[in-house]
Structure 1
Amino acid sequence: MLRALSVTEARVPTKPLRRLRFRPSLAISLAAAAGIAASLALGAWQLGRAHEKEAMAARLESLSEEPAIALPVAEVSAEEVLWRRVSVRGRFEPRYAIFLDNQVRDGVAGYHVIMPLAISGGERYVLVNRGWIAGARERARLPSVRTPAGPVELSGLAVVPSQRFLELSTRVAEGQVWQNLTLERYRRAVPIALQPVLIQQQSPLDDGLTREWSPPDFGVNTHYAYAFQWFALALAILVFYLFAHVRRAA
């Protein structure tokens, strides 16, 4: 008769376990540490910028809700009134008006009407973005803008036109139609004394223009996205570094 196999005799032979070995070179370790540190620092910097922009947006929202301050005839510094509601009295000067091109609203192409206002009591002007108007069917014909002949009182937000734009052509202005606006460019084109800000008109006026202004975009979400990318890169460097240098010992 066949005898029964004992547990010891029936045991399946197994391979001895191998221990893991971690022996990276000094140069690679230093490079990985530098990459991780730099990525973390850049991610933290982007987070800091996002928090700064959020605080700035909150500050500007608070300023815009304060009572309007009167804009004087005497020249002010832009920092005094920037992002604040201002009020002013004067007369529009239509002959120096410009039409800011490529302003699309609800799928309709049009213009922003930029017109200087002669401040009452002096010879200084302030530029006013009076609002949006649809373009005419014929490109060569500008839309008609109703402008009060007498003095007006208006209020709005004091801003400085952005200078962050790309121009692919040297033909940036054709008569009254401009592609982009800066105060310096307007001063060179029109011989009048200007305040260093532009007013986005908010007060109503029977002129047929649309005045709905978007709040400034400070790019907060962009900073958060960049921060996530830098932190993800730091994690990727760490994972790759560990994976590439862990080996099974013989």
Structure 2
Amino acid sequence: MIALGVWQLQRKGEKEALLALYERNRAMSSLATYPELPPVPDELLFRKSSVVCLDPVRWDPRSGTDVKGRSGFRMIADCRTGAEGPGVLVDVGISDDFTPPAWTGGIVQGTVVPGPEQPTLVERLTGRAVAARPMLVADQPVAGLRQSAIPSGADVPNNHLAYAVQWFLFALAALTIYIFAVRRRLRQ
């Protein structure tokens, strides 16, 4: 348990470095090409980019918030970008219902963020995890929608210190129980 606490302290430092990288990325210039294929290197996340959506082939409404903090449904389009190859995910704005907008595609400028299709723990442990595709959160929403809140590195949780304290407390509790058990046995 102490080793797990120490490991969480190490992870805390690693996560702080990653969050600092995300903040530096936000200040960098736009990407020349959109990172279509996963996995997306951390150096490309939270940077500005643009992509041409020829045609939204599928809509995936998910819960989200707009730039003013109001709740709604993020309208995520899975866009066709060419005759072949993978499409791109584009968050085109926030709606009050599940109805997709009457948007037929076009040039979208925005911020590259991790896509919503994150692998589960079971998929990662069994080796069946597929890397998440990146998603572009549009700077300007399509007609009839509100602008989605653009995620930042600050939205990525860094709770490793709390986990470390938790493991150290577990170790202390186990030691206390052990001491009481030994003392009781010695009295007999």
The two structures share one fold, judged by TM-score above 0.5 = yes
What is aligned with 2:147? 210
Residue of 10, 28, 33 corresponding to 1:66: 28
The Cα of 1:90 is off from its aligned counterpart by 2.1
TM-score, length-scaled by structure 1: 0.52
Matched, 1:53 2:9: no
TM-score, length-scaled by structure 2: 0.66
Deviations 1:151-205 (A, max 9, x none): 4241221423323399xxxxxxxxxxxxxxx888xxxxxxxxxxx432222x224
Q: Give the 3 Å change call, closer, same or farther, for CA 209–123 of structure 1 in structure 2.
A: farther
* Correspondences of 1:104-183 after superposition (within 5 Å): 105=65, 108=71, 110-119=72-81, 125-135=87-97, 142-143=98-99, 145-147=101-103, 151-161=106-116, 162-164=118-120
Equivalent position SS for 1:210: coil
Deviations 1:76-129 (A, max 9, x none): 5533564142422424414x131324x154675x42212244448x75532212
Could you tell me which amino acid in structure 2 is paired with residue 163 of structure 1? P
CA distance in 2 between counterparts of 1:151 and 1:107 reads 26
Residue of 49, 54, 76 corresponding to 1:87: 49
Residue of 53, 60, 78 corresponding to 1:99: 60
For the 8 Å contact 2:39–2:131, the answer to whether it is kept is no
What is aligned with 1:233? 170
**Please, what is the CA RMSD of the aligned residues?**
4.0
CA distance in 1 between counterparts of 2:172 and 2:21 reads 35
Query: What's the % identity of the aligned pairs?
Result: 24
Q: How many residues align?
A: 171
Structure 1 or 2, whichever has the larger Rg, is: 1
Unaligned stretches of 5+ residues in structure 2: 123-129
Could you tell me which amino acid in structure 2 is paired with residue 65 of structure 1? A
CA distance in 1 between counterparts of 2:183 and 2:105 reads 81
Q: Give the 3 Å change call, closer, same or farther, for CA 129–157 of structure 1 in structure 2.
A: same
